[in-house]
Amino acid sequence: MPSPAPSPGARGYVVPIGGAEDKISDRRILARFVELCGGSEGRVAVLPTASLLPTTGDAYKRVFRELGIADVVVVDVAERKHAEEERWSDALEGVTGIFLTGGNQLRLSTILGGTPIATRIRRMNARGVHVAGTSAGAAFICEHMIAHGASGATPRAGQVALAPGLGLTNRIIIDQHFRERDRLGRLLTALSYNPFSVGFGLDEDTAAFIDPRDHAHVVGSGGITVVDVSQLAYSSMALSEVGDPVELVGVRLHILSNGAAFDLSSRIATPGPHRPADPTA
């Protein structure tokens, strides 16, 4: 469960990003995150734990500085023993935003899971610090994390493996690089294990900015596939052998793009602003 907020509306935004977000031209997702974090008055911590590339942290540090954040710290926790060191936990002091980079989400869960840093991030988010994650970082944000799985549009028994995530929200299960890597089947499979959560399939360069009221606002150039199984009437998961297709009856699906929203409490989708057709097209 997410850490309890001290008062209604105190929680910071939770921002899963589908990966490959624009870092060069309009950078609208990262710019919106910077704005939330206070712009030039903010302080952002970058955690490149998911990545094996030694340049990942510094690359995001440069981007955030270009977008106006003067104070950016790279919290380079590369091994589990580092997550127990007070210096890394102390590095989070005073930050207004935390950014989890892409890479391998199992590195995040196995290195950070159950450590003082993970606990501190959960508590900080409950008290107003905004937390974003891209690609693997997005998957790790949830309580139930998709660790790995096969591609394909049809859900199949055994198609996906779940692992405990950071637990900033228990309302959604996230899959990233969604349309680009054909991941509808594995998201449906994950939801069929226990139809409590809502599935968010995030395309690349697309984010859900989830506010303290649990309203998700879509920002980016792609779409978010929202899979709502709250009205599921039948699932064959319990009867299926590994590799069998899974029957699901009563699934609701929304495709939302920039400017649209989804209320995680009422499960009501709101379309984005109307865009008149281009007469010159």
Q: What is the pLDDT at residue 203? A: 98
Q: What is the pLDDT at residue 274? A: 72
Using 50, 70 and 90 to split pLDDT, how confident is the model at 278? low
Q: What is the pLDDT at residue 279? A: 59
Q: Encode burial over 27-54: b for 16+ CB neighbours within 10 A, e otherwise.
A: bbbbbbbbebbbeeebbbbbbbbbbeee
pLDDT beyond 90 at 1:
no
Is-catalytic flag, 35? no
pLDDT beyond 80 at 276:
no
Q: Which of 135, 192, 235, 240 is catalytic?
A: 135
Q: Would you call 172 helix, strand, or coil by DSSP?
A: strand
pLDDT tens string 64-117: 999 999 999 999 999 999 888 889 888 999 999 999 999 999 999 999 999 999
**At a CB cut-off of 8 Å and minimum separation 6, what does 94 contact?**
43
What's the rounded mean pLDDT across residues 209-218?
Answer: 98
Q: Which of 109, 197, 204, 217 is catalytic?
A: 204
Is-catalytic flag, 177? yes
Q: Which of 177, 192, 197, 254 is catalytic?
A: 177
Q: What is the pLDDT at residue 86? A: 87
Listed residue (167, 187, 189, 278) closest to 235, CA to CA: 189
Q: What residue ranges do the domains of the chain occupy? A: 14-265
Query: Cα–Cα distance between 218 and 94 in angstroms, integer?
Result: 28
Is-catalytic flag, 84? no
pLDDT tens string 253-271: 999 999 999 999 999 999 9
pLDDT beyond 90 at 128:
yes
Using 50, 70 and 90 to split pLDDT, how confident is the model at 277? low
pLDDT tens string 32-75: 999 999 999 999 999 999 999 999 999 999 999 999 999 999 99
**At a CB cut-off of 8 Å and minimum separation 6, what does 49 contact?**
76, 77, 78, 100, 101, 103, 107, 108, 111, 112
What's the rounded mean pLDDT across residues 135-139?
Answer: 98
Q: CATH: 3.40.630.30, 3.30.565.10, 3.40.1280.10, 3.40.50.880. Which one for 14-265?
A: 3.40.50.880
Q: How far is CA 7 from the centre of its chain?
A: 23
